[in-house]
Chains A and B, each alone.
Chain A
Amino acid sequence: MTGMDRVRTIDAEAGVVVCDAGVSLHRLMEVLLPLGWFVPVTPGTRYVTVGGAIGADIHGKNHHVSGSFARHVLAMDLLTADGTVRTVTPGTPLFDATAGGMGLTGVILSATVQLQPVETSLMSVDTERATDLDDLMARLTATDHRYRYSVAWIDLLARGTSMGRSVLTRGDHAPLDALPARARARRAPLAFRPGQLPAPPSFVPEGLLGKTSVGLFNELWYRRAPRSRTGELQKISTFFHPLDGVPHWNRVYGRSGFVQYQFVVGYGKEEALRRVVRRISERGCPSFLAVLKRFGEGDPGWLSFPMPGWTLALDIPANLPGLGVFLDELDEEVAAADGRVYLAKDSRLRPEMLAAMYPRLADFRALRADLDPRGVFRSDLSRRLAL
């Protein structure tokens, strides 16, 4: 789909872009930032397409304020299994099935997206440390509403009294007058210059990311962070997409790669979150990219992931012994707390778990049976979960 990469029209007054579905968020930022606009929602990487963003109904650090990506889509063109192109608008069943529908309702060809105005391409960031999971949840609950963007990096290897210690980074787009009077950035406040580091070599030995190395990394990461710092100016790429600066970063996991796991449990189910964090920490899962975030209101997509509550995302080396069984047990905890796992990151969920996690699943299946009776659109995910 990345062949369909044309940005068709930009309404620089209203902040609306019409583009092909294969355009990446990176490309949109390159084009839109100089005009004073930013994508409404960005995940932890810019290298996703607009079509993918709708199909997975992605969320970002601003979910508690802005909701998911599809909430900002005004219309899209969808090629369905019967060969027709339909213009789909919010509030219709087809839109709600497609938003988060993992590409199974058809091929998204183009989309009209409402943008977010910005004065500069810098972020004003507040950083603080939380000493354990309870401290973290208390800080997020108390002050999250003051920030447009909020996320906490969490050390899942820390045990005992420091279990769940974290670094919170929260902020907003820096207004023009927040830039120092003689700063270089004043001359081109909207310039978009993401830096890039060299890629890891193509062969990395297995087991580089073990408990020791990740534990050391986490320790340094935690101690390096200031106890409390406000108003630091950071580039968009530093704040949102730190991993995009390292091409092929996934290579550090070696040949067997890694699996991602992300779940959400509702407010009031903090005990389930604590239990899961404790289990991960006691087991010693070497995860150095775990983040915790508070979600806002749920989104209309039938298979959209977000719901009001706490979401934890982690990456784990796939060759960890017994990982499959361990993640199955976490699924049970999450499902028992009426939570769900994120389909966009899933590669191992059991199909039996799905209906409990996604109550609109039956509607989705019915719509698909109607729209695509021959099963033209299929994926490994749809085969595994019978979507």
Chain B
Amino acid sequence: MKDAFGTPQSLLVLGGTSEIGLATARRLVARRTRTVWLAGRPSPALEEAASGLRDMGADVRTVAFDALDPEAHEESLGKIFAEGDIDMVLLAFGILGDQARDEDDPLAAVRVAQTNYTGAVSAGLVCARALQSQGHGSLVVLSSVAGERARRSNFIYGSSKAGLDAFSQGLGDALYGTGVHVMVVRPGFVRSKMTAGLEEAPMATTPEAVAEAIETGLRRRSETVWVPERCGWSCRRCGTRPRQVFRRLPL
């Protein structure tokens, strides 16, 4: 059960090797969290992440989970909830793809959409139902500012995050009043292995800063969190620019 400051005692990270996911887990374990489930494709990196959190004193378990295999979600995630209440689910998986290459390789582009959007729809619905039947908990979804308005330079990734964002907002409204809280987190450019080698965008942030914003958002029971906060204002400004102007911007 979360405490008065919204800090969970048990956490499930979908995308157990996500840097933002792990930064958040570390932050929450340092406060209250005792039980952590890391769900991801079995790999040495996943086990390494688990042992890092174990060193901090948490009871960590890993579970096999693949966003591209929605048929298995019901079973693999159901097992986790059967072991006890989960106070917070962090939906942290996602891939960036390579826009330039993916435009010429439709199957690769579809994989981005399937991971970021359809995989998340399936996992999100399975978790939402489990949270609703336990009667409490938060579903925190990592969206992106890229989903706010599709840009020429990464509209494949951006469109998948736009779908995820809209889905999560609707899910949050559907679950309003059930005791389950859905929070959409929209980070800007985050310096991590996913963005390694890319040219840094303005207002770049770090996984630790996103983790801090998530903790604050949980305390306030926010529905939308921008990281950094001022990113939200500049995005909203961007969103109102006319198409003819927007497509010429170097974004």
- Which A positions have Cβ atoms within 8 angstroms of B? 256, 259, 318-319, 323-325, 347-351, 380-381, 383-384
- Across the interface, do A325 and B4 meet the contact criterion of CB distance under 8 Å? no
The reply to whether B1 and A323 form a contact with Cβ atoms under 8 Å apart is: no
Nearest CB of B to A38, in Å: 34
Pairwise interchain contact A383-B5, C-beta atoms closer than 8 A: no
**Is B55's beta carbon under 8 Å from chain A?**
no
Across-interface contacts of B7 in A (CB, < 8 A)? 324
**Cα distance A126–B233 when bound, in Å?**
58
Cβ B5 vs Cβ A380 within 8 A: no
- For B194-234 the 0/1 string (1 means CB < 8 A from A) is 00000000000000000000000001100000000000000
> What is the interface residue range for chain B against chain A?
10 to 19
Closest chain A CB from B24 CB (angstroms): 16
CB pair B32–A380 under 8 Å, yes or no, is no
Interface hits, B1-47 → A, CB 8 Å: 1-5, 7, 9, 31-32
State in angstroms the CA–CA spacing of A327 and B32 once bound together. 13
15 residue pairs of the A-B complex, CB under 8 angstroms, read: A259-B4, A318-B5, A319-B219, A323-B5, A324-B4, A324-B7, A347-B3, A348-B3, A380-B1, A381-B1, A383-B1, A383-B85, A383-B136, A384-B3, A384-B9
User: Shortest 8 CB-CB distances between A and B: which pairs?
Assistant: A347-B4, A383-B1, A384-B1, A348-B3, A348-B4, A324-B5, A259-B4, A380-B1
Closest-by-CB residue of B relative to A347 is: B4
**Complex CA distance for A350 and B32, rounded to whole angstroms:** 7
CA distance A349 to B31 in the complex (A): 12
Chain B residues with CB under 8 Å of chain A are 1-5, 7, 9, 31-32, 85, 136, 219-220
Contacts of A324 in B (CB 8 A): 3-5, 7, 31-32
Chain A min CB distance to B7 (Å) = 7
Q: Which residues of A contact B220 (CB under 8 A)?
A: 256, 319
B6 → chain A, closest Cβ, in Å? 9
Q: How far is the CB of A318 from chain B (nearest CB, A)?
A: 6
Complex formed: what's the CA distance from A345 to B2 in Å? 16
4 extra A-B contacts, CB within 8 A, seeds A324-B4, A347-B4, A349-B3:
A256-B219, A318-B5, A319-B219, A324-B5
Q: How far is the CB of A161 from chain B (nearest CB, A)?
A: 34
The minimal Cβ–Cβ distance linking B138 to chain A, given in whole angstroms, is: 14
Contacts of A347 in B (CB 8 A): 3-4
CB nearest neighbor in B for A255? B220
Nearest A residue to B85 by beta-carbon distance?
A: A383
A256-B220, A324-B3, A324-B31 as given contacts; A380 in contact with B136, CB under 8 Å:
yes
Specify which chain A residues have a CB less than 8 angstroms from the CB of B3 in the assembled complex. Answer: 324, 347-349, 384
Q: Whole-angstrom distance between the alpha carbons of A61 and B7 in the complex?
A: 34
Which residues of the partner chain B approach A256 to less than 8 Å between Cβ atoms? 219-220
B85: chain A residues within 8 A (beta carbon) = 383
* A380–B135 CA distance with the chains assembled, in angstroms: 10
Determine the distance from Cα of A347 to Cα of B2 in the docked complex, in whole angstroms. Answer: 9
Cβ-closest chain A residue relative to B215: A324
User: Given the complex, which residues of A lie within 8 Å of B5, measured CB to CB?
Assistant: 318, 323-324, 348
Contacts of A380 in B (CB 8 A): 1, 136
